[in-house]
Amino acid sequence: MAHIPDGFLSGTVMVGTAIASGAALAVAARRSRRDLAEREAPILGAVTAFVFASQMLNFPIGAGTSVHLLGGVLVGAIVGPWSGMLVLFAVLLVQALLFQDGGIASLGANTLNLSIISVGAGVLLYRWFLALVGVGDRRRVGAAAVAAFLSTVLVGGAVAVELAASGTIPIKPALVVVGGGHILVGVVEAVLTGAILATLLRVRPELVTVSAGARPVSRPLALGVAGVTALLAMAAGYVASTRPDVLEAAASRLGLAQQESVGATPFGDYGAPASGAWAAALIGVVVVFGLGWVVVRLLARGRLRA
């Protein structure tokens, strides 16, 4: 969606966004360390795998483009903003290094947009709306949907500014074509976020209360979520829309040529040499699930040593 490929950003913008993202992730890791215990490792791994799988499933929309769930507000509502930033970064890291989904050199910018802004600004908006409308499952769903829409528009605006600052596109067409295109993406994001959160609150409300003070989610449940996620990812490899996403469509409209990625990836475009898309999807789910699990265990153990 807003995964910026290599070759679209200047060195200054890449370095600046990488520094900003690194600083924000350091704060997120420190704040998460206070809240997470090792018992949350399975569900954080499952949430990370779910985001990866859901982003593989592209839905066709108008103007010959497609969208997928960004998941910033949804993840933030489930695990909190700080852990949510780490979850989205883990997904972005695996997508870039294994699947060439977003540039490796552009990882700092993509992290700033899709992890820090999407989760951070999204959760701030979500909590602000909740403070205005009060508690209750329906109000939580409505607040999450509105926050998801607005945070997605903010992400689109951030991408447009980064492209303009790099000299790739003048600021006005960047805001109109790239930023404006994310308004429609925001509508889809709001619908998907609201629908998924409403389902979780109805069938598994304990999944929306992951924190150090909450009742821990059982390991069998977390593994079950991961298993369903693996099936979703494998199916997505075959049924996802092949239409370009909003950024790709905007680049085409503005005459920007696709650039080669800085480094080679083993499963470019989510394809595996041996068995195809389903195998690449399964590998991705296993890797991000394990990465999410390991990150939580390391943070929790670091807190105990401190």
Would the pTM count as exceeding 0.85?
yes
- Tell me the range of 15-29, 61-75, 125-139, 286-300 where mean pLDDT is highest: 15-29
Confidence of residue 179 (pLDDT cuts 50, 70, 90): confident
Distances (CA, A) of 231 to 56, 203, 277: 12, 20, 12
- Where do the structural domains in the chain lie, given as residue ranges? 11-305
User: How far apart (Å, rounded) are the C-alpha atoms in residues 126 and 105?
Assistant: 31
Asked whether residue 89 carries a pLDDT value surpassing 80, the answer given is yes
CA nearest 70: which of 202, 190, 179?
190
* Average pLDDT of the segment spanning 216-237: 72
More confident residue, 128 or 239: 128
Q: For the residues 283-295, what does the mean pLDDT come to? A: 84
Query: What pLDDT, in 10s, does the model give residues 18-76?
Result: 999 999 999 998 888 776 665 567 777 888 888 888 888 777 776 667 788 899 999 99
Q: What sections of the chain are H helices per DSSP?
A: 11-35, 41-56, 72-79, 81-99, 107-111, 122-133, 137-165, 171-173, 180-203, 219-239, 246-253, 277-305
Asked if pLDDT for residue 161 goes beyond 90, the answer is yes
- CATH class as words, domain 11-305: mainly alpha
pLDDT tier at 262, thresholds 50, 70, 90: low
Amino acid 202 reads R
Please provide the average confidence, as pLDDT, over all residues in the chain: 82
